[in-house]
Structure 1
């Protein structure tokens, strides 16, 4: 699917441009910053367990199995939160759903902080997972629907930047708290409680943010949609875009596009959903979250002391943030599909080298720093290419009236894959060793490359409405 530079051939309304009124550009940036606090919480709550888990083991009496449950209960909750959050955001609105998710983030973090037992910790992490899953679906869709077509890649991937920033914040605060608290009991509780602060910021900020104009149009509220568009577009652009959005909303309403019945009965939507499932699985079977959740333990096994591993793990967070900046820059210049292929090649090669170094190098500083270098390289490709493209494409692929639902179902597949990997990784390492485990991910990476090359379409350079028309024709 070729992308041209002629906006008229792509169905994109006149470009917003840097000459757009300053209040319009400022309003878009404020909306992006506030909404992506959901991404920050996503990143912090998934990353904090990396450093908290070693200190939690003795206090809660964790075994390897319950350690996997504490880690992966969030992921199981995220799977349920993704499909529920996607459906609710289609039914009740993106903004209202984000407000509810902020409440779940707050009470989930508070419950984990105060957990007196493994069972309560697992339950609290499950509640956090509901919020993480809902945010992983709703925030990218909200940003995609409120963004101009030519800014969509950059604004939607700001959420990925906030996710990795949240993980970096978790890694850094873990290291600082561990050094200040030392071996004192309950030091992990201080690591977990910090997540309540951005949850409050998200809730207060979304109180004054607008609803998605495309969701409003899908509900037949065209005047309200126009009022929102005027906040984030020039007058001429708002009028042109409302006309396009309204026409497609009427068409979707006539065809009753929007839920399970359409998924089963409409062949092109069903085929498109399978592509979404594949993209979701591709992002997870790189094994990225084994490094996000168990990075400290991987570095300890490679030869670092416990405190040194916590500090060294900050490098993983730093490279994730820097790579995401690069990814945002590339998305404005490179098509989505080639970025996904390049990311898969890079991560697969890095995992292969982690396995080789762990198997062949003697224990000591040499192996420790070689493994650290490869985890950093891996995250450079993952966070600079695969992750931003994944969340962006999932926010673009599905029809307007079922965008939240469609992305939610794809995200369920993503989070269940994540859950399975997080649950079995400690047992895999115990049974196969670090080398054998990462060689398994190498094989999965090769399969992912083949899938992307054959099945994934290009989505760059179209308005969401034009893209829907093209995909409808392609998969019908």
Structure 2
């Protein structure tokens, strides 16, 4: 008996939408770990600075170490998931998260902490590659958007948990890192009872198992059979190599996947998340007030992401992005104006800074955050989907690393005002990119999107030839 059949037996009581939701929630715990472990450093830096000597450069290295690990993790995960399967790879991600959390909590020096967070980064990068792909390949097109976005909801929920955990624990940064073990163990145990991706199974020639999974996650045997037949139209190719991604007809998917990931970072959202408490203390807030204010932003991001997950399949990915980004640009412009000059913000305007900060976080993170991993999981063909998603994740983490390593230095060089205005300019460039190049994928099967690529009708205004 195969492992997939055994696993199906363990969850035989569930089928259809309830099983699909259970799959999405458990798998998305990888997003909670990603959000918690990346968000907690913004709070932990306040306690770390009291125990270790940290200048701006050292703070940036401590923060960026998890991102450097993510660059390695996201590239390595694609081939691993193509070979071992999506489910087993997700279990490995949970194991690495647990190991990295323990090592971070026990770090005796800054250098050991940097290396430990590099290990966490391996898991975080892997999670952004494998979890959205797994959910996208299991869920039906009508619900794919909201369920893949469950991953991002858990990311921002994890960030919010990180801020308030930091507030409760104060300067106890070791406990902040150690708590990441709990969801990591739940992810590993949860994935034990979930089925494998039917698309991955079919790509390995295991048609009977793929059909068994589809019958359990679709509303009727006829729909399961129809989807199996559609998947078979694109699954007869051998597993793609990295070289295959260089084929001209795949270039639009590479541009869109890597481009949307790039803009999610150079518009400043992770830089603001990582350094929000630092920015607010520079504005004149005390440490606790700064953490609470940043936590308020995290709550608003969580609410926005939840709303986005409910409407994304109806509104569409492209329209949702284009409707949210303008508000974040306005918030950045006003916040930059408030920070003009070297003196702390006038006390009467401090809460206007907080308002602009949380609005920016909600609209920017609530737009890119809702759509980035969803789009990356949708635009690549099945035979290179694992490797294509790795390229999208690599772009995300690569630009995240660049922004993280330069944010505090950039603020020191040109000032916070011009730094925020630069993020506003790149946000405007993102809107141009989305308008002309990002296709609408809502309501379309993954196989239909692949066919559009092959027929050179992928971009929004591209005509059928």
State the TM-score bracket (shorter-chain normalisation): over 0.9
In structure 2, distance between residues paired with 1:425 and 1:163: 22
In structure 2, distance between residues paired with 1:372 and 1:391: 28
How does 1:28-427 map onto structure 2 within 5 Å? 28-178=20-170, 187-233=172-218, 234-250=220-236, 253=237, 256=238, 258-264=240-246, 266-359=247-340, 363-427=345-409
Mapped contact 1:343–1:386 kept (Cα < 8 A): no
Deviation of the 1:23 alpha carbon: 3.5
Mapped contact 2:284–2:344 kept (Cα < 8 A): no
In structure 2, distance between residues paired with 1:142 and 1:83: 16
Mapped contact 2:39–2:273 kept (Cα < 8 A): yes
- Per the alignment, residue 446 of structure 2 pairs with 464
Mapped contact 2:269–2:365 kept (Cα < 8 A): no
In structure 2, distance between residues paired with 1:376 and 1:335: 24
Higher mean alpha-carbon deviation, 351-360 vs 66-75, is at 351-360
In structure 2, distance between residues paired with 1:436 and 1:29: 44
Higher mean alpha-carbon deviation, 39-48 vs 278-287, is at 278-287
Mapped contact 1:303–1:367 kept (Cα < 8 A): no
Deviation of the 1:22 alpha carbon: 7.2
Deviation of the 1:281 alpha carbon: 0.8
Deviations 1:217-240 (A, max 9, x none): 111111111111122112221111
Partner of 2:314, secondary structure, is coil
In structure 1, distance between residues paired with 2:428 and 2:305: 23
Partner of 2:339, secondary structure, is helix
Structure 1 stretches of 4+ with a deviation exceeding 4 A read none
Mapped contact 2:297–2:359 kept (Cα < 8 A): no
Mapped contact 2:294–2:358 kept (Cα < 8 A): no
Higher mean alpha-carbon deviation, 304-313 vs 140-149, is at 304-313
Deviations 1:43-97 (A, max 9, x none): 1001000100111123232221111001011111111111111221122211011
- Per the alignment, residue 3 of structure 2 pairs with none
**Alignment size in residue pairs:** 444
- Per the alignment, residue 455 of structure 1 pairs with 437
Point out where structure 2 has 5 or more consecutive residues left out of the alignment. Answer: 1-12, 459-465
Mapped contact 2:73–2:122 kept (Cα < 8 A): yes
Mapped contact 1:355–1:436 kept (Cα < 8 A): yes
Mapped contact 2:70–2:121 kept (Cα < 8 A): yes
Mapped contact 2:336–2:418 kept (Cα < 8 A): yes
Deviation of the 1:346 alpha carbon: 2.1
Mark the CA change 1:419 to 1:362 in structure 2 (over 3 Å): closer, same or farther: closer
In structure 1, distance between residues paired with 2:431 and 2:16: 40
Mark the CA change 1:356 to 1:110 in structure 2 (over 3 Å): closer, same or farther: same
Deviation of the 1:257 alpha carbon: 5.9
Partner of 1:343, secondary structure, is helix
Mapped contact 1:89–1:97 kept (Cα < 8 A): yes
Mapped contact 1:79–1:130 kept (Cα < 8 A): yes
Point out where structure 1 has 5 or more consecutive residues left out of the alignment. Answer: 1-20
Partner of 2:188, secondary structure, is helix
Mapped contact 1:244–1:465 kept (Cα < 8 A): yes
In structure 1, distance between residues paired with 2:258 and 2:16: 35
In structure 2, distance between residues paired with 1:321 and 1:248: 36
- Per the alignment, residue 446 of structure 1 pairs with 428
Deviation of the 1:131 alpha carbon: 0.3
In structure 2, distance between residues paired with 1:352 and 1:217: 50
Mapped contact 2:102–2:181 kept (Cα < 8 A): yes
RMSD (Å), alpha carbons: 1.6
Partner of 1:258, secondary structure, is coil
Task: Name the TM-score, length of structure 1 as normaliser.
Answer: 0.90
Mapped contact 1:285–1:444 kept (Cα < 8 A): yes
Mark the CA change 1:355 to 1:72 in structure 2 (over 3 Å): closer, same or farther: same
